[in-house]
């Protein structure tokens, strides 16, 4: 795994805007093709296998939590416990997820967390870096079959009727939602897009409806379950008026409380880090993580006598403690960076990676996205 310095292409901004990647320069610098990461095919094979294995272990962990009724550790509202269990028993449709890994190209990739409910970064991981590859390294390859696998997975969605696509009013979320909706359309589904604020409950017909009073039968939400559970219409979701994607059982996987469960079940696995609900059980440096943190908020790293913290609004639900596996640091003397690998899962298969860089050890929503390629 090597970090290379490159000259950005002329006109890449216009190309991406035409592809729907309008937020390429959000916060000043987001997409950054001054650099690229080069892998070998053997390294990509290792990443793919680790992702598949981590996903299968995660599914086993979900089953373990449900069989032993450990919902309270996840701070899931009690009234939703049965919905989590039922959605798992019924094998409700799941589209995607993304593991965040720490890895420098040697040894075993280490799982930092699983963004299994509302992962973003799809447009840049799937479409943008593929177009970059065709222009910059047309004879190389890329770990990226995200687009094809999304369409294929949508093709397995067996429920009939309109699929509503919703998210919050954020340029990045809307960009990701537009792309996901496009893949669903390519798979032959009928869709409609609106804001989460345009959903409501029709008491007279006992239906979840959109702003045009159209019944919502299938709902894809790029909106976290923990927020959805607190919406005004949330109590009505208990009667399961619609098929919701991601399903309720993903509340377990998208929660940091799954990390101690994984370590308990697969202690010593090379792709896992020790994780507990008590800090004292970790020998050495560790990271304190809120159960429901997003975009790197409210993370605290305790390493070598120093503490690195990020601000945010999370933590009321509780914390877990995970052994510290620092992301590799690359330094060209101009833009030093700590690197995190996001490894995508579509359905139950590994589908590709996206790479983020930050000047700190905590990957945030402002962290840069860097393209990659691999050679034999």
Q: What is the pLDDT of residues 220-241, one digit of tens each?
A: 999 999 999 989 899 999 999 9
Q: Is 215 part of a structural domain of the chain?
A: yes
Q: Is 221 part of a structural domain of the chain?
A: yes
Name the residue among 37, 203, 180, 77 with its Cα closest to residue 119: 180
Question: Could you tell me what percent of the chain has a pLDDT over 90?
Answer: 96
Per-residue pLDDT band for 366 (boundaries 50, 70, 90) equals confident
Q: Is 191 part of a structural domain of the chain?
A: yes
Q: What are phi and psi of 209, to 5 degrees?
A: -130, 165
Per-residue pLDDT band for 110 (boundaries 50, 70, 90) equals very high
Whether the pLDDT of residue 27 is over 90: the answer is no
Mean per-residue pLDDT, 185-203: 96
Q: How many other CB atoms are found less than 10 A from the CB of residue 260?
A: 20
Per-residue pLDDT band for 194 (boundaries 50, 70, 90) equals very high
Q: Is 281 part of a structural domain of the chain?
A: no
Rounded Cα–Cα distance for residues 119 and 282 (Å): 28
* Entry field: residues in the chain: 376
Q: Is 322 part of a structural domain of the chain?
A: no
Tally of domains in the chain: 1
Whether the pLDDT of residue 363 is over 90: the answer is yes
Q: Is 230 part of a structural domain of the chain?
A: yes
**CB of 124 within 8 A of CB of 68?**
no
Q: Which residue has the higher pLDDT, 365 or 374?
A: 374
pLDDT of residue 2: 97
Mean per-residue pLDDT, 64-93: 96
Rounded to the nearest 10 degrees, how much is the dihedral formed by the CA atoms of 170, 171, 175, 177?
10
Whether the pLDDT of residue 58 is over 90: the answer is yes
Rounded Cα–Cα distance for residues 211 and 235 (Å): 19
Q: Is 315 part of a structural domain of the chain?
A: no
For 18-49, b/e burial (b = at least 16 CB within 10 A) is ebbbbbbeeeeebbbbebbbbbeeebbebbbe
**3-class secondary structure, 15:** helix
Rounded Cα–Cα distance for residues 99 and 55 (Å): 9
Whether the pLDDT of residue 3 is over 90: the answer is yes
Q: Is 323 part of a structural domain of the chain?
A: no
Run of H or E including 356: strand 349-358
Average pLDDT value for the chain: 96
Rounded Cα–Cα distance for residues 169 and 125 (Å): 22
What angle separates helix 258-265 from helix 41-67, to the nearest 10 degrees? 100
Structural domain boundaries, residue 12: 2-255+329-375
17, two tokens: 């805007």
Give the sign of the dihedral formed by CA 36, CA 40, CA 46, CA 49: positive
């Amino acid at each position: 795994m090597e970090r290379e310095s490159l000259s950005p292409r002329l006109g890449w901004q216009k190309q991406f805007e035409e592809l729907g990647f309008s937020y390429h320069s959000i916060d000043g610098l987001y997409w950054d093709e001054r650099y690229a990461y080069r892998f070998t095919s053997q390294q990509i094979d290792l990443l793919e296998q680790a992702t598949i294995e981590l996903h299968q272990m995660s599914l086993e962990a979900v089953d373990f939590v449900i069989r032993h009724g450990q919902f309270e550790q996840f701070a899931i509202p009690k009234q939703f416990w049965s919905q989590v269990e039922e959605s798992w028993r019924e094998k409700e449709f799941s589209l995607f997820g993304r593991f965040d890994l720490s890895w420098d190209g040697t040894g075993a990739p280490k799982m930092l967390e699983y963004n299994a409910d509302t992962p973003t970064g799809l447009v840049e991981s799937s479409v943008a870096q593929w177009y970059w590859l065709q222009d910059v390294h047309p004879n190389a390859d890329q770990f990226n079959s995200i687009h094809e696998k999304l369409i294929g997975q949508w093709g397995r969605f067996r429920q009939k009727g309109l699929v509503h696509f919703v998210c919050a009013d954020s340029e990045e979320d809307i960009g990701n939602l537009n792309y996901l909706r496009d893949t669903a359309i390519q798979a032959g589904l009928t869709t409609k897009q609106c804001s989460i604020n345009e959903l409501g409950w029709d008491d007279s017909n006992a239906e979840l409806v959109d702003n045009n009073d159209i019944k919502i039968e299938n709902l894809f939400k790029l909106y976290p379950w923990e927020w959805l559970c607190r919406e005004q219409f949330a109590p009505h979701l208990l009667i399961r008026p619609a098929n919701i994607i991601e399903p309720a059982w993903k509340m377990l996987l998208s929660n940091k409380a799954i990390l101690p469960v994984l370590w308990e079940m697969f202690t010593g696995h090379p792709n896992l880090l020790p994780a507990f609900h008590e800090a004292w059980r970790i020998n050495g440096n560790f990271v304190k993580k809120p159960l429901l943190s997003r975009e790197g908020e409210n993370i605290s790293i305790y390493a070598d006598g120093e503490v690195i913290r990020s601000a945010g609004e999370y933590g009321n639900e509780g914390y877990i403690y995970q052994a510290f596996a620092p992301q590799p640091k690359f330094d060209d003397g101009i833009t030093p960076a700590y690197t995190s690998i996001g490894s995508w899962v579509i359905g139950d298969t590994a589908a590709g990676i996206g790479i983020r860089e930050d000047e700190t050890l905590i990957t945030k929503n402002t962290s840069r996205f860097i393209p990659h390629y691999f050679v034999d």
